Amino acid sequence: MKFAIATLGCKVNQYQSQLVREALVQGGAVEQDFSLPGADLYLVNTCTVTHRSDAEARKLIRRGAAFGSRLVVTGCMAGAYPREVRALSGSLEVVPFGNLPEALGVPLPGHITRFRGHSRAFVNVQHGCSNRCTFCIVPEARGGPRSRAMGEILREIECLHEAGFREIILTGINIGLYEGGAASLLQQIIEGSAMPRIRISSIEPWTVTTELVDLIAREGRICRHLHLPLQSGSDAVLSRMNRPYRAGYFRDLVLRLREEAPGMAIGSDVMVGFPGEGEGDFSETESLVEGLDLAYLHVFPYSKRPGTPAAGFEGVVGAGVARERARRMRELSKAKRSAFISSRIGREEEAVVTSAYGGGFTGLTSNYIKVEVAGEAPVHALVRIVLTQACEGHAKGRALE
Ligand code: SF4
């Protein structure tokens, strides 16, 4: 049996696709590229975070349907808008992720053992969210929070370590909701595994506790990198988004992290053009971000998701205005990125090798700087380097003996 998988969206989706891949391969199936005809099964793992993700999913679903083989659609778009997905092709099957074992006739393994196409492995620790931010369809698509059993997490990390991985990235829909909190999650992983580097991908600001800040500050195996979604620097907008913190809390948190863990990369998400976001609200976001030592931003214009409370809000921001605000924030992000990288030039860092080519390699530092280095080192290796030159969005470095 031949199969092909197309995956859209977040790290949780990438992880879940890997789980299905391993299940099918263990059952004797062979994977092929999604763009080629001839597979017996095409699986599309969808995302629905913006209308653009929906459009990409529709494109892949139509491509899969054109091959005339079995087509299974899973993931967030299939979960939130099953009727719309079904309408794309008469023969496709919409299957919630949890029902895939039954639909595919193979049990999902308890953990993954490798990560196709990645030099650093995602480890999913948590599913679902109960916060109900008014713009977000995820709780609809993925349900409430559930924590993965620690035994499974540790077994998975051990397998990935044995397979050669030296960095894992903890993923989840809202990992701060892990039972007992993120600090306890990390402490158990540190004590129960030998993985040299553990990265937290993204964590909601209101779930970052003092214990977590202290742990990051003192534990060298935790990467000096946090992605803290801000979304808006206007308290009025944050309140309409149902985000349970205010701009002042975010500012204090970033300042505390900077003080406790110097050199840490702090990235953020900013959403522009949320309904009711006036020029004054946007300026508040801009000046908050300008004044903080952030390493980069991911900027998203608001995308209306049918079925969310915000879809019915008044004060729709015109597409042109939202585009202009996004452009301004992206410029700011570029400046922040350059300033952060420049501030690290001359410093020693440890990089995990992400790709190697004749005479050189690319690595990623604990504080999320992509670095090009001359010399030989195998993928996955951890190499001590010194950063020598800032370039556009990355750095050059020299390996230390
Ligand atoms: S915290 Fe908010 S944005 Fe994140 S998954 Fe939950 S509802 Fe969505």
Determine the atom of ligand 1 nearest the C-alpha atom of 137: 8
Residue-level pLDDT at 71: 97
Q: Are 132 and 198 contained in the same domain?
A: yes
CATH code for position 366: 2.40.50.140
In this structure, which residue's CA is closest to atom 1 in ligand 1?
A: 131
- By CB neighbour count within 10 A (0-12 exposed, 13-18 middle, 19+ buried), where does 357 fall? exposed
Q: Give Cβ neighbours of residue 219 (< 8 Å, ≥ 6 apart).
A: 186, 190
Ligand 1 centre to CA of 233 (Å) is 17
Domain end: 162, 193, 223, which one? 223
Residue 316 lies inside a defined structural domain of this protein: no
Contact present, 218 and 258 (Cβ < 8 Å): no
Scan for tokens 């380097």, then name that residue. Answer: 385
Mutate to test the pocket of ligand 1, among 10, 131, 308 (most ligand atoms within 8 A of CB): 131
Ligand 1 centre to CA of 157 (Å) is 26
Gap between the Cα atoms of 328 and 94, Å rounded: 40
Q: Are 167 and 89 contained in the same domain?
A: no
Domain end: 223, 240, 255, which one? 223
CATH code for position 91: 3.40.50.12160
Contact present, 23 and 104 (Cβ < 8 Å): yes
Residue 366 lies inside a defined structural domain of this protein: yes
Q: Are 125 and 191 contained in the same domain?
A: yes
Residue 7 lies inside a defined structural domain of this protein: yes
Q: Give Cβ neighbours of residue 247 (< 8 Å, ≥ 6 apart).
A: 232, 233, 234, 235, 238, 284, 288
Split the chain (401 residues) into runs of 10 and give each run's mean pLDDT.
95 94 95 96 94 94 94 94 92 93 93 90 94 91 91 96 97 95 98 98 95 96 97 98 98 97 96 98 98 97 94 97 98 97 97 94 98 95 97 96 74
Q: Are 161 and 216 contained in the same domain?
A: yes
Residue 321 lies inside a defined structural domain of this protein: no
Strand positions, DSSP E, 339-401: 348-357, 360-365, 370-374, 382-390, 395-399
Q: Are 70 and 162 contained in the same domain?
A: no
Gap between the Cα atoms of 360 and 350, Å rounded: 16
Q: Give Cβ neighbours of residue 35 (< 8 Å, ≥ 6 apart).
A: 63
CATH code for position 173: 3.30.750.210
What's the domain range around 30?
Answer: 2-104
Residue 228 lies inside a defined structural domain of this protein: no
Q: Are 18 and 89 contained in the same domain?
A: yes
Q: Are 210 and 141 contained in the same domain?
A: yes
Structure tokens at 208: 């970052």
Contact present, 292 and 335 (Cβ < 8 Å): no
Domain end: 180, 200, 223, which one? 223
Report which secondary-structure segment, H or E, holds 133: none
Mutate to test the pocket of ligand 1, among 11, 76, 138 (most ligand atoms within 8 A of CB): 138
Q: Are 11 and 35 contained in the same domain?
A: yes
Residue 278 lies inside a defined structural domain of this protein: no
Q: Are 9 and 66 contained in the same domain?
A: yes
Residue-level pLDDT at 117: 85
Please tell me if the CB atom of residue 174 comes closer than 6 angstroms to any atom of ligand 1. Answer: yes
Q: Are 121 and 162 contained in the same domain?
A: yes
Structure tokens at 179: 């039972």
Tell me how long the chain is. 401
Number of domains in the chain: 3
Ligand 1 centre to CA of 369 (Å) is 27
Neighbours of 55 (CB within 10 A): 9
Ligand 1 centre to CA of 24 (Å) is 31
Residue 282 lies inside a defined structural domain of this protein: no
Determine the atom of ligand 1 nearest the C-alpha atom of 129: 6
Please tell me if the CB atom of residue 204 comes closer than 6 angstroms to any atom of ligand 1. Answer: yes
Residue 291 lies inside a defined structural domain of this protein: no
Residue-level pLDDT at 292: 97
pTM for this predicted structure: 0.91
Ligand 1 centre to CA of 269 (Å) is 12
Q: Furthest-apart CA pair in the chain: how many Å?
A: 61
